[in-house]
Amino acid sequence: MLTALVLVVFSVSNRSVVDIGFYPFDTLVALPVYLVLFAGIFLGLLVAASVSSYFRLRGFAQRRKAERRATELEKQVTEMSEDAHTRRAEEGHKRLEAGTGPR
């Protein structure tokens, strides 16, 4: 509420018109000072939101990729562990069959 009140007071106090020109074009646009200021603020917020969204989406994509990689590596570790356990069991059975294993 306080911000809205300040903006209204600012708008009423700065109704004077300024000419806005765009360099490559020969046209001038007459706008109130408060409208130019508010347009600048709005454009700044729009650019900041766009940049922030870009970095947020990029971070989400990197996190998703890292999670997939971690899942893949965990599966590989599990497979390697199971293979090692199976190999040790097979070696133990072979030693027992050969009579060289523990009694």
**Helical pair 2-13 and 33-98, crossing angle rounded to 10 deg:** 140
pLDDT above 70 for 27: yes
User: Taking a C-beta distance cutoff of 8 angstroms, is the pair 20, 28 a contact?
Assistant: yes
Number of domains in the chain: 1
Q: Which domain holds residue 62?
A: 2-98
- Confidence band of 50 (pLDDT split at 50, 70, 90): very high
From the list 4, 2, 20, the residue with the least C-alpha distance to 12 is 4
- As a residue count, the chain comes to 103
Question: How does the average pLDDT of the chain come out, rounded?
Answer: 88
Rounded-to-integer distance, Cα 76 and Cα 71, Å? 9
User: 92 lies in a domain?
Assistant: yes
Give the confidence band of 14 by pLDDT, cuts at 50, 70, 90.
Answer: confident
Residue 33 in domain: yes
pLDDT at 102 (0 to 100): 60
Residue 86 has pLDDT above 90, yes or no: no
Domain membership flag for residue 103: no
pTM comes to 0.57
Query: Cα–Cα distance between 7 and 1 in angstroms, integer?
Result: 10
The answer to the question of residue 84 being in a domain is: yes
Q: Domain for residue 50, yes or no?
A: yes
Task: Write the pLDDT tens digit of every residue in 55-66.
Answer: 999 999 999 999
32 falls within a domain: yes
Q: Which of the pair, 49 or 84, is modelled with greater confidence?
A: 49
